[in-house]
């Protein structure tokens, strides 16, 4: 039954590939849906530990953020204003504490901002190809880590955070991501003249590292609040944050690399 659930969950995730192919407004719209669901899961998880985030402020921030588009100057203004407002809330309403305010803002940054890098990469020159690096770097890493850990792994990587992860699995995931993104670069090289093939391998290596940190961060939060999955939205896979934890980090990695290293 568990295996069947995983197949059902995979079938539910599969349409996301269509949104990547469509790109543009369709990918952005789907990313917004993911952000809303992920933010809900994050706030709900923290309530298990008796924290009291303020979801309405997080959702308003998310809506305003996507409405203003890619104006990073305005985004900074909004974050500063939101910080002030959230710090005032515990003074006006003693139901909340400054910790509640802090995790409300953290949820917006962790889920809302990081998810937004997916459409930002897609909007770059040759972005319809480069956006795939986010997912190849995450999915190939996860698959390679699973099988190398299953057949070669004995020594645990971070048993206090994620008991099933092994050092062999981590190395396998890093190699898988590096090779997978590199092969993808070789295939699309003629369509993406702005990016030399070596950069595809380097991006893959970075995704192999940071994607695993994204996974471990999500596991650390779940372990702290005492839950197994963020939700049961995707059968056999958990919630949005369970399935897209590494993608959150890798979307930022790919965007920053393309912007500041390659300059596109």
**pLDDT tier at 236, thresholds 50, 70, 90:** low
72, 113 Cβ separation under 8 angstroms: no
Nearest CA among 1, 13, 2 for reference residue 142: 13
Backbone φ, ψ for residue 93 (5° rounding):
-125, 105
257, 153 Cβ separation under 8 angstroms: no
Q: Spell out the long-range contacts of 187-194 with Cβ–Cβ below 8 A and sequence spacing 24 or more.
A: 188/129, 191/126, 191/129, 192/126, 192/129, 192/130, 194/125, 194/126, 194/262, 194/264
Q: How far apart are CA 116 and CA 255, in angstroms?
A: 10
Nearest CA among 183, 181, 165, 148 for reference residue 250: 181
- Quick: pLDDT tens for 160-199: 888 888 999 999 999 999 999 999 999 999 999 999 999 9
- Quick: pLDDT tens for 117-173: 999 999 999 999 999 999 999 999 999 999 998 888 778 888 888 888 899 999 999
pTM of the predicted structure, to 2 decimals? 0.91
pLDDT at 221 over 60: yes
Domain spans of the chain, in order of start: 2-262
Q: Got the DSSP string for 219-244?
A: HHHHHHHT-S-S-SSBTTTBSHHHHS
Average pLDDT value for residue range 48-52: 93
Residues 6 or more apart whose CB falls under 8 angstroms from that of 173 comprise 141, 142, 144, 145, 148, 208, 211, 212
Distances (CA, A) of 240 to 79, 96, 102, 220: 24, 27, 22, 16
């Amino acid at each position: 039954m568990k295996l069947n659930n995983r197949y059902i969950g995979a079938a539910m995730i599969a349409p996301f590939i269509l949104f990547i192919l469509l790109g543009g407004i369709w990918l952005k719209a789907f990313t917004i849906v993911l952000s809303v669901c992920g933010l809900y899961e994050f706030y709900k998880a923290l309530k298990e530990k008796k924290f009291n985030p303020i979801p309405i402020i997080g959702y308003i921030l998310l809506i305003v953020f996507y409405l203003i588009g890619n104006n990073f100057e305005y985004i900074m203004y909004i974050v500063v204003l939101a910080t002030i407002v959230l710090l005032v809330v515990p003074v006006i309403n003693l139901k909340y504490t400054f910790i509640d305010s802090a995790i409300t803002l953290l949820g917006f940054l962790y889920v809302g901002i990081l998810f937004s890098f997916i459409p930002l990469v897609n909007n770059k020159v040759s972005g319809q190809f480069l956006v795939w690096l986010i997912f190849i770097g995450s999915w190939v890493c996860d698959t390679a880590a699973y099988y190398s850990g299953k057949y070669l792994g004995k020594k645990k990587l971070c048993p206090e955070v994620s008991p099933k992860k092994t050092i062999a699995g981590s190395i396998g995931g890093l190699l898988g991501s590096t090779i997978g993104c590199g092969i993808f670069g070789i295939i699309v090289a003629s369509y993406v003249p702005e990016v030399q093939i070596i950069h595809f391998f380097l991006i893959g290596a970075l995704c192999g590292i940071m994607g695993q940190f994204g996974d471990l961060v999500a596991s650390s939060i779940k372990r702290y609040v005492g839950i197994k999955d963020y939700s049961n939205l995707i059968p056999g896979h958990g919630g949005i944050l369970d399935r897209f934890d590494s993608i959150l980090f890798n979307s930022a990695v790919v965007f920053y690399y393309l912007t500041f290293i390659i300059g596109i």
